[in-house]
Structure 1
């Protein structure tokens, strides 16, 4: 465990972290996102196939949701606690997961049919990736994690925030995604979300998961929109995600990182990590 020093004069949040406050942000983001889909009459199976679809069905919903979060996080005073942890945790080898994720995403861009990537398509896919990276990470591994930490141990906070991350994708079935495909997506997003949680704990900041999530999503949408062949290597990230997430989560047993508990725990956590392989 590496402790990240924090200034004593940091201002307390205007709204104390709680599960209820976090769920308000989660629900608000969901409502804005899916209302935008309803208004724009999204067909899930065609999202991102054209520049207009990337704008209406991918970029705008995530950017509207992100704008809502920017306002509410400022009102709550939650920026610091959602973006930064007091401690970093996890074995050094677990960095292989985030590194592989970045490498696979980068290779997808290299293999893409760039002649089909119009400026408008690239712009809206990139903006959509930024919206997804900021919005979905801030609402799940940011606000929800902070709210859950106020009441639960870190393992429970990881589990519940990651399940709620998967649940973000349940309404896809109402917009044209086959139910079986949606159920498979829930499993994959749970593994994906667990790896992003591991990236937060390894780095001590939400900024890394935000970048990785946005970069990964853009590497899926843009090549698909240009008619490029799927990058089959991408499936390799999921087995490694399991290994990395388990290794990081094991070190969170009994840990509490809520505002009240976080200040007294580093020494205890350090001793516990020394006893673990």
Structure 2
């Protein structure tokens, strides 16, 4: 009986939603993720080449697998797994496909300008696995759990998009802890905020969180592989504009976001949502 009451109180607490509950969730996730990832330190000390398949496995795949388990565990504990992966409660508009197209095109260009002969199948495969896990953990956390908490509190979708993207960007400030310099981190925060807006729009226009998960899953590997193993040429030169293009796209499209879950769209304003 006591356990049942505790479970009910836990679910009732999170069902109220709100920005501060979203922030608490993300902070706890970040702390647990960082702490639990320390378990792989003994393995990391055995890695001679961090860019090898074994290095990618230890430094990226195993830690982010912990992140996946954390978000799944939380979603299951509050009974939201089905809700997260069901159809979106608010529809998208045609202009939102711009965000999907920009991210996808530059991911393809980066993959197309990568020197696979110099990498090896094992490294590519491990990076693709890492990308899938990164996409799952970060999207389910920010576009799934955070968005759900904000919508349950009745916020308008513009606020939902901004806060979820800001939280997503804030997670990457943790790269300062790994020695990344301040200027690079600040640029990354701007990029990840805009990227977060694009992922929110991808979820809205496709109606499912699977779309941003897969888009995100192809983004990180395409960036890391192309930077480490580039093929010089016009495709690579054009691919270099990927990050600025995402920043401009996300920030410009942000101003057109309208609506609220459960709110009918006025006919005159429908084209702007």
Shorter-normalised TM range: 0.7 to 0.9
Contact 1:97 1:240 in 2 (8 A): yes
Structure 1 residue aligned with 2:7: none
| Higher share of residues assigned helix | 2
Structure 2 residue aligned with 1:4: none
Matched, 1:233 2:229: no
Shift of 1:168: 0.3
Contact 2:100 2:202 in 1 (8 A): yes
Given candidates 95, 98, 102, the residue that maps to 2:97 is: 95
TM-score scaled by structure 1? Answer: 0.79
Q: Quick one: distance in 2 between partners of 1:127 and 1:201?
A: 25
Structure 2 residue aligned with 1:34: 34
Q: Quick one: distance in 1 between partners of 2:202 and 2:113?
A: 26
Contact 1:25 1:69 in 2 (8 A): no
Structure 2 unaligned spans of 5+: 1-9
Q: Quick one: distance in 1 between partners of 2:120 and 2:270?
A: 53
Q: What secondary structure sits across from 2:193 in the alignment? A: helix
Alignment of 1:140-219 (within 5 A): 140-151=142-153, 152-219=155-222
Q: Quick one: distance in 2 between partners of 1:27 and 1:104?
A: 31
Structure 2 residue aligned with 1:18: 17
Shift of 1:222: 2.2
Deviations 1:212-242 (A, max 9, x none): 1111111112223435566313132322232
Shift of 1:29: 3.0
Structure 1 residue aligned with 2:255: 246
Q: Quick one: distance in 2 between partners of 1:167 and 1:138?
A: 16
Shift of 1:147: 0.5
Shift of 1:25: 4.2
Q: What secondary structure sits across from 2:68 in the alignment? A: helix
Moved more, 145-154 or 231-240: 231-240
Contact 1:49 1:224 in 2 (8 A): no
Deviations 1:182-223 (A, max 9, x none): 111111111111111111122222111111111111111222
Structure 1 residue aligned with 2:128: 126
Deviations 1:122-144 (A, max 9, x none): 12211110111111011011100
Shift of 1:28: 4.2
Q: Quick one: distance in 1 between partners of 2:65 and 2:209?
A: 18
TM-score scaled by structure 2? Answer: 0.80
Name the CA shift for 1:218/1:275 in 2 (closer, same or farther; >3 Å). Answer: closer
Contact 1:191 1:242 in 2 (8 A): yes
Q: Quick one: distance in 2 between partners of 1:228 and 1:120?
A: 19
Structure 1 residue aligned with 2:5: none
